[in-house]
């Protein structure tokens, strides 16, 4: 598989075991329709999902404004000076992402949407479903929950909702993705195995 060949050379926060599982789920999901990713960064996970989509005659829409999340800004923990664009005076991952796409054999299966996730969702056709929603955008609580609420209604009946960076122990990573997972789970012991529409309908009864 092409994504494996250059996996270690691509910049990103997805580890190999996560990528393998992501490819497996995306391969199943792509048989039902397009996949959608929130939080492209440099496209490491995008290439994994896109290859699964290409193998199943589907495609990936990946959404990101490419100016970094809160934790990527100057002075923050994950700021990388290599992505600071002096011309824009902003963090900017788009050029690296674009270079990855250009060297990817299945580039026609990746459709970048450059903009704020919530704003992009407003342009999405109401009756056009997605088979997989991968939430890996900003890790602030406001943004993580906004991404979920903006896109969850578009997931098809047998689709997948995936949340990256879910760490029960706060020493291992930021809390908002885990808090979103707990919110999705609600007072149920587990949501694993439940139909996605049942999960979403249940969530709509909850408040944060």
- Residue-range definition of the domain harbouring residue 172: 2-203
pTM, full prediction? 0.80
Catalytic residue among 65, 66, 139, 164: 139
Residue 193: its pLDDT value, please?
46
For residue 142, being part of any structural domain is answered with yes
* 139 included as an active-site residue: yes
For residue 208, being part of any structural domain is answered with no
Residue 181: its pLDDT value, please?
66
The residue ranges of DSSP E strands in the chain, in sequence order, are 35-38, 60-64, 84-85, 90-91, 110-114, 130-135, 155-163
For residue 169, being part of any structural domain is answered with yes
Residue 71: its pLDDT value, please?
65
**Number of structural domains found in the chain:** 1
SS3 at position 143: helix
For residue 113, being part of any structural domain is answered with yes
For residue 174, being part of any structural domain is answered with yes
Q: What are the 10-residue block averages of pLDDT along the chain, 208 residues in total?
A: 84 88 95 95 95 97 86 69 81 92 93 95 94 84 82 90 69 62 57 50 46
Residue 174: its pLDDT value, please?
62
For residue 29, being part of any structural domain is answered with yes
The residue ranges of DSSP E strands in 28-166, in sequence order, are 35-38, 60-64, 84-85, 90-91, 110-114, 130-135, 155-163
Q: Give the CATH number of the domain where residue 71 resides.
A: 3.40.50.150
Residue 196: its pLDDT value, please?
53
């Amino acid at each position: 598989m092409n994504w494996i060949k250059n996996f270690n050379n691509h910049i990103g926060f997805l580890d190999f075991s996560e990528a393998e599982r992501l490819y497996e789920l995306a391969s199943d999901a792509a048989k039902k329709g397009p996949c959608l990713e929130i939080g492209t960064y440099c496209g490491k996970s995008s290439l994994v999902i896109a290859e699964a989509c290409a193998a199943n005659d589907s495609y990936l829409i990946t959404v990101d404004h490419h100016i970094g999340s809160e934790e990527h800004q100057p002075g923050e923990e994950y700021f990388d000076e290599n992505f600071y664009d002096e011309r824009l005076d902003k963090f900017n991952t788009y050029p690296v992402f674009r270079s990855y796409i250009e060297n990817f054999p299945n580039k026609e299966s990746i459709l970048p949407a450059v903009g704020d996730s919530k704003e992009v969702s407003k342009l999405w056709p109401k009756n056009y479903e997605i088979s997989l929603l991968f939430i890996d955008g900003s890790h602030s609580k406001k943004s993580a929950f906004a991404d979920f609420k903006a896109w969850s209604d578009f997931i098809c009946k047998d689709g997948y909702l995936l949340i990256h960076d879910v760490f029960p122990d706060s020493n291992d990573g930021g809390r908002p993705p885990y808090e979103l997972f707990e919110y999705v789970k609600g007072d149920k012991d587990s949501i694993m195995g439940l139909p996605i529409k049942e999960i979403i309908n249940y969530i709509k009864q909850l408040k944060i």
